[in-house]
Amino acid sequence: MIQYDRVSKIFGTGSDAVTAVDEVVLDIEQGHLVTLLGPSGCGKTTLLRLTNRLIAMSSGTIKINGQDIMFLDPVKLRQTMGYAIQEIGLFPNKSIYENIAVVPRLLGWEKGRIRERVDELLRMLRLEPKTFRDRYPVELSGGQQQRIGVARCLAADPEILLMDEPFGAIDPINREEIQDEFLGLHERLKKTILFVTHDIHEAIKMGDRIAIFQDGRLIQYDSPGQILTRPANRYIEDFVGTDRALKLLGLLRAEEAMDGSPVNIVEGSTSTGEALRFLEDKDYLNLIVIHQGKPMGYLYSKLLKDKNTEVKNVADPYPVLIRCNDTLRDVMSQMLLHNVHLLPVVDENGDLAGSINYQDIRKYIQGIYADNAERE
């Protein structure tokens, strides 16, 4: 838990004074990953540097687990926090191994344990230990260097991580992978993480919560969903973009919007005649055919007319199945790709959990925005 109470930092004096951080009040919950978002110069880096006392506050207090950091030894304090600086800053005179090993060595870990840890981190960041261990920073690309910077920050397994645009120099393909890997790691280890970014997509994807800054002030501190549906002011509206409803789709899961108890279902062993009557009686557009609880295809009247067999023999297979935790963005994309308006949703066993169509999605999103409008 990190608590910022009216923290300010003013650089310079008199007419040259710049208020880089302005009366920030912010609580970072234990185990949360909080993304600090805002344009260049809004004070994100300064807030991190205040947290590990690389610079001194002008006013306010920062507490870590209830302890005022001003009463802690700065060198010890920094050893308990991983710090990945924006400029990467690998030591050029040290090999990759030595760079990552710095903090464990300062903490007096045994050689064997350090060695294992370094290899583990290299593998996690998609760098083959054998190839990279003994290289020097100049022999690596910018993106590779940045990954070493992240490894160095994680090395001693600190409870708190301060990461300043840690994936900024990594190419888009590797970045997605490393973001996913990092999220998985966070899921398992539940570190308290301050993650600076100026990329709204990254902030939404990574953050349990997002803190948005403008000119040193904290403007909004909320969950990604809240930021997208209830931007606090015009500035944030502009920042999250006019496509914020689409971004919201990327956050929501199929199971939230789906119809959990669809009624247009028939067993595979049903006869075509019976199915056709069911379809026409209820005026359904199509039917989902299930076999042993699993969706196996769909039916519409043309498929059923003038047939005399079990429906499983005539059903069209679904081009794709939606899983419960697929994002609505992926669902929409699949619907557009395959030109279907209804898809079955399956759970992790492949059993039918519900169905989803455009209407479900539209209604769900509308509901979210309406909820918020009501509360205002």
Partner 1 sequence: MKLIDFILNNSDQCLFLTWEHIRIVAFAVFLATIIAVPLGILITRNEGIAKKVLNAANILMTIPSIALFGLMLPVLALIGHGLGKVPAVIALVLYSQLPIIRNTYVGIKNVPPELVEAGKGVGMSSLTRLKEVEIPLAVPVIIAGLRTAAVMNIGITAIAAYIGAGGLGVFIQQGIARAYDEMVMAGAILVALLAIFVDAGMALIERILTPRGIKIGRKQGR
Ligand X SMILES: Nc1ncnc2c1ncn2[C@@H]1O[C@H](COP(=O)(O)OP(=O)(O)O)[C@@H](O)[C@H]1O
Query: Which of 103/356 has CB closer to partner 1?
Result: 103
Q: How far apart are CA 317 and CA 66, in angstroms?
A: 59
- Helical packing angle, 244-251 and 328-338, nearest 10°: 100
Position 46 contacts Mg ion (CB under 5 A): no
From residue 144, give the alpha-carbon distance in Å to each of 99, 198, 227.
13, 20, 32
203, 35 Cβ separation under 8 angstroms: yes
Q: Which of 37, 42, 45, 97 binds Mg ion (CB under 5 A)?
A: 45
Residue 103's binding partner out of Mg ion, ligand X, partner 1, none, with CB under 5 to 8 Å set by partner kind:
partner 1
Q: Which one of the spans 37-45, 220-228, 286-294, 352-360 is the region binding ligand X (CB under 6 A)?
A: 37-45
DSSP string, 108-121: T--HHHHHHHHHHH
Q: Which one of the spans 59-67, 90-98, 191-199, 209-217 is the region binding partner 1 (CB under 8 A)?
A: 90-98
Position 53 contacts ligand X (CB under 6 A): no
CB count within 10 Å of CB 111 equals 10
Query: Which of 32/49 has CB closer to Mg ion?
Result: 49
- Helical packing angle, 358-375 and 328-338, nearest 10°: 150
81, 23 Cβ separation under 8 angstroms: no
Position 11 contacts ligand X (CB under 6 A): yes
Q: Which one of the spans 44-52, 67-75, 106-114, 175-183 is the region binding ligand X (CB under 6 A)?
A: 44-52
Query: Which of 4/97 has CB closer to Mg ion?
Result: 4
Nearest one of 127, 128, 165, 122 to 35, comparing CA atoms: 165
Position 197 contacts Mg ion (CB under 5 A): no
Pairing between β-strand 81-84 and β-strand 265-267 as defined by DSSP bridges: unpaired
Q: Which of 85, 151, 296, 299 binds partner 1 (CB under 8 A)?
A: 85
Residues near partner 1, by CB under 8 A = 52, 54, 75-79, 83, 85, 87-95, 102-103, 106, 136-139, 152-153
Residues near ligand X, by CB under 6 A = 11-12, 18, 20, 38, 40-46
